[in-house]
Structure 1
Amino acid sequence: MRHLIPYVRHGAWGRVVAPAIAVSFSIDSREGGKVAEQQRADVAIVGGGVLGLAHAWHAARAGKRVVLFERDAQARGASARNYGLLWPIGQPAGFLLQMALRSRELWIDLLNQCKAPMPASGSLHVCYREDEEAVGKEFCSLGPAQGYTCEWLDAQHTLEKCNALRQKNLRGAVYSPLEITVDPKVVLSELPKLLKERYRTEIRYSSPVRRVEPPVVETSSEAWRVDSAIVCAGTDFETLFPGEFKTSGLLRCKQQMMRTAPQPDNWRLGPALAAGLSMRFSGSFQICPSLDGLKKRIASEMPRYEKWGIHALVSQGPRGELTIGDSHEYGQNADFYDKVEIDDLILDYLDSYTSFHDRTITQRWQGVYAYHPEKPFFLATPMKGVLVITGVGGAGMTLSLGLAERICKRFFE
């Protein structure tokens, strides 16, 4: 747990075992006088996205009485708007890679409990240029000693893994068997059901929380008495503890993404696909000295891709649809208008190395996630008994269960 301690400023909480219950007593509400009926739980989770659900699961498994609050009818933030990829291959070597691998183990257990599909399709980082090949081979040489499961495939074996790739100029690929594709919609619907039915967790949708001051957590319609609270509010920096966020260094990152129609005849993509553009973003490939040359070439030859932080990654959902993206625009307030130029650049690059049966785009959207330019996540305790966790960047699906396990073990022991 030494990796978590630098981000934490206060203490821990005790252990109580029982289902969440309702008891009657009165408290003072900051607005509107008395609240006559109050609920009781050990832990309140604020935020029904993947990170909040992960903390709720671990807290419930530790025997805690848990209540989870989600401001919308269902989570609508970054957890609902991503590839659905569990992506250990993208994490830097060290404790984040180990956290991602542990998270993967936990996801397999959890998805089995939910009876949710989870094809372990793996991933390919395909290489069409000499510098991409150099980075790929170097990574496959250095990576296993750093904890990565990977191998270099020549062009023929790469095509055997995925017949959607263009053969011309293909040099090979970095293959990893560990990546898993899940459906975010299934996760956000089935995991709450599991929490309610198996772990007796209370879940309150359409319940924006306006006050967190243990022993009180208060929404606009009810109040709960709790021992502690974990706030996983994503990019909402303004509602709860705005002073913490103001000095946190957190940014928002906007992404543009797209989805095709389901591919015909039950055609399957196989591994999730990435290419040279993705290598420059990935924390894993930073171990390769040859990566600098690749970055310089892309910055020189592809300035518009550099400007918008574009790479072209594609995964396939359970119904056969392809999810495509993405771009990266950073700032406190991301532009809410999508840019046609960005979508065109993504599709043009994707077309340079793939050929699909049906490229019809049926959905376009943007996602926004919290990101810290220097830390892998943001963790703070603004008052005793309250933990704020956000800023896992684009790795929420990949890290959430492993990160929540570490946090809950530390604070619920």
Structure 2
Amino acid sequence: MKISPETVYISDYNYELPSANIAEVPLLNRDDSKLLIYEKGKIIDSVFHQLPSYIEPGSTLILNNTRVIEARLLFQKDTGATIELFCLEPYELSIEQAMQQHEKIIWKCLIGGASKWKPGQLLTKPIGENSGYILTARYIEKREDYFLIEFSWNNAAASFVEVLHETGAIPLPPYIKRKAEKLDWERYQTVFSEQEGSVAAPTAALHFTQNTFQQLKERNVAYDYITLHVGAGTFKPVKSATIAGHSMHAEPFSVKKQVIEELIKAAKIIATGTTSLRTLESLYWISLKLKLSPNAELMLDQWEAYAIDEQLPNIPAKESFEYLLQWMNEHAVTELHCRTSLIIIPGYQFKVAHGLITNFHQPHSTLLLLIAAFIGDNWKKVYSHALQNNYRFLSYGDSSLLWR
């Protein structure tokens, strides 16, 4: 799998996205979204509640059960100035540990209005109404891409995730030009969201309803869950001329042993969303990394997969996952906890997923590069068709089922 990132120009992955095509609000019913099916150059227009009829019995869907946290916090200074803190990820703790922390924790944050807030200064806001409890934020220091902020609260019984529920707001994507409303607390979560820790939703799965899952069961299509906590880096623009100059964000993910057993048995694997796809492909490469070095760190760097492929080329996914299962048994591991910075660009050879359920992505984005890698240059045909037929784009937009 030889690729040349310095020849992948981001300007080639552009299209005109009218603001009228960006979905600002969700549809009344999740599964009323349009569904574009693409296979071997052909396009079919459908509706999302028809999705199960396009998936062969014996296939397995993989979904991301992460849950969006109320990561946006607004504080007001004595002067009246508003300081907005956006919690990116915990400092020196896992997401799971951080969510259950009590009394004090340090987070990496972005700050809106940072020039009005000096290191060492404290900001406070009440936790809930008339509770008497206070959340305090202390500015520790500025780092290259984020600020270190210490949060503390005077309710020893409350975990940090409970504090966020009371004081924070759902962080809608930057291209949605409105404040989060009560509706978003429900609709910017999947119906099966469970593991708290994302600052952006795995939006491909927002269309799923309990009816969808019932139809999948009746059609003998299996489904299971991985967890990848989506970071703000998913919205990070590519500023370099070629993808070689872009630094890909890292995200934590976890996969249970039973999921790997399911992947080994599956006739076809369909990833629900780019986060699930990235997890599945990362899992494949981490398995081969362990095959090369059984004590290797469970982390995949941005270009590491491409190097591993040169050492262990053309390994089938089933063989990779069988080795991973063996490694887990030998190490008495029932759930893998990993991190990935994998970047998928045109020229990448997919190892696991045969199909991808996904929304329509921004121009000049790493997500659009992933789509181009998955279906080739026909991404232009797909996106042009979607625009001409008034599909709704981005997080609250319509869906597609793409076959590799």
Give the TM-score taking structure 2 as reference length: 0.25
Q: TM-score, normalised by structure 1?
A: 0.25
